[in-house]
A and B are shown apart, each in its own frame.
Chain A
């Protein structure tokens, strides 16, 4: 499976209710060392919701804080979006 296949797929919770589409995937570079590339990338979280300009600005990540007014403005719509870690995902189905 490719990571790109996950983008745009519908996320459904345990009760079968739709949470929204996968808008973004966060990776962490802390896996096994891979030669010149450095540490391997590891799947960190799925971000659920549209991936627009405000998301690209990066203010949904908790450590991007300044300038305050810009962070408030652009972070408002994105900061509290649901995220899902790997253990939260029960199954990935095609269709």
Chain B
């Protein structure tokens, strides 16, 4: 019974923890501009993150070595350092985006400018990282993120707008007001939002933090095969709400307050309270995960003691990296760069950087020296290889498309 409960809890945590500021922004924006015409990308992205996270969770569990340790060994120190620099920079942008997002949520509730909340939010994140046990932190915020389910309820209440939006999912290609280039650019943004690399750093390091053994591989599978797709469905609900409410009215989404409109319009104040709580919890959880990922990647590359499974004093350098990353993230947001724009850049660049981590994990997941009898099946390899090709194309196309479309404008 305990095991069943554990699996159930894991699924709910993965479900509630799936959505972050990147998913909120990307899905709302695309819903308003493209209806559900890009819904298929979310499905592709979810399949991608399921494969990627399952492999990395399995590699971490079987080899007791997390992602960046493996990357360094497979690529060699020099190339892995380039990889670390790119991954760390993008992750830092994501930390900044999450901190900015949290501050924006508090601004929505209090009416006081978000810039004032930025340092306070960062301190709160740091205190939780310093004080709270990993398993508790993971579950409390992941489960609280389930409050986002109100968006699914709102979507159902938005009918008939939703029925029309759903019909648009059958069309491939941009609506008449948009070009193929912006369509492709937003497709990449959605893919990057669903497949952000930090999710993999966090998930695989989490497997080591939680002391997973071979027996816990079922937990790994349940989390990613059930929890992540449910999270993806929630992303689609957010896109659907935006498509049903904003697209017919020609409204574009460029502020977080608009993300809440479909819920407040259909479910009133109570719905809005639930939504704001859900958004706050989901982004807070992502802020914790990204800040931890900053520490994980650097410490694992340099071979330092890392993790929350030891006392902070035993993993001093790991905690210093986390603290410094939070400080830099605060500075980025305080520079008054629009947090929504920071989010957009972070998810698009995330998509471009995916092969850097995906390829080493795919190779190691096939190596019996690490995996013993738990190497990839032929079926998984076939899908994983198709994704490899897709991710390489995305990686090459991202920067030119970003320049061509002026960042999707």
Contact = CB atoms under 8 A, between A and B. Distances in A.
Contacts of A69: 385
B209 interface: no
Contacts of B384: 67
B375 interface: yes
Contact of A65 (B79, B366, B382, B385): B366
Interface in A25-83: 53, 56-58, 61, 63-71
Given A58-B363, A70-B362, A70-B363, A64 B76 contact: no
B375 A66 contact: yes
A66 B363 CA distance: 7
- Interface residues of chain B: helix, strand, loop or mixed (majority): helix
A64 B367 contact: yes
A56 B381 contact: no
B116 interface: no
Contacts of B388: 67, 70
Q: Which of A53, A56, A67, A71 has the most CB of B within 10 A?
A: A67
Interface in B354-384: 362-364, 366-369, 375-376, 378, 381-382, 384
B112 interface: no
Q: Chain B, interface size: which category?
A: 20 to 34
Contact of B74 (A57, A66, A68): A57
Contacts of B385: 67-70
A67 B382 CA distance: 7
B265 interface: no
Contacts of B79: 53
A68 B367 contact: no
B73 to A, nearest CB: 8
Contacts of B363: 57-58, 70
B381 A67 contact: yes
Given A66-B375, A66-B376, A67-B382, A56 B75 contact: yes
B381 A53 contact: no
A65 B73 CA distance: 19
Interface residues of A, number: 14
B366 A67 contact: yes
Contact of A58 (B76, B367, B376): B367
Contacts of A64: 366-369
B76 A53 contact: yes
A63 B364 CA distance: 12
Contacts of A65: 366
B376 A56 contact: no
Given A66-B375, A70-B362, A70-B363, A53 B75 contact: yes
A64 B363 CA distance: 9
A53 B369 CA distance: 18
Contacts of A56: 73-76
Contacts of A70: 362-363, 385, 388
Contacts of A66: 366, 375-376, 378, 381
B134 to A, nearest CB: 26
Contacts of A68: 381, 385
B358 to A, nearest CB: 12
A38 B388 CA distance: 37
Interface of B: 73-76, 79, 362-364, 366-369, 375-376, 378, 381-382, 384-385, 388
19 contacts: A53-B76, A57-B74, A57-B363, A58-B74, A63-B368, A64-B367, A64-B369, A66-B375, A66-B376, A66-B378, A66-B381, A67-B362, A67-B366, A67-B381, A67-B382, A67-B384, A67-B385, A68-B385, A70-B388
Given A58-B364, A63-B368, 7 more contacts: A57-B74, A61-B369, A64-B369, A66-B375, A67-B388, A69-B385, A70-B363
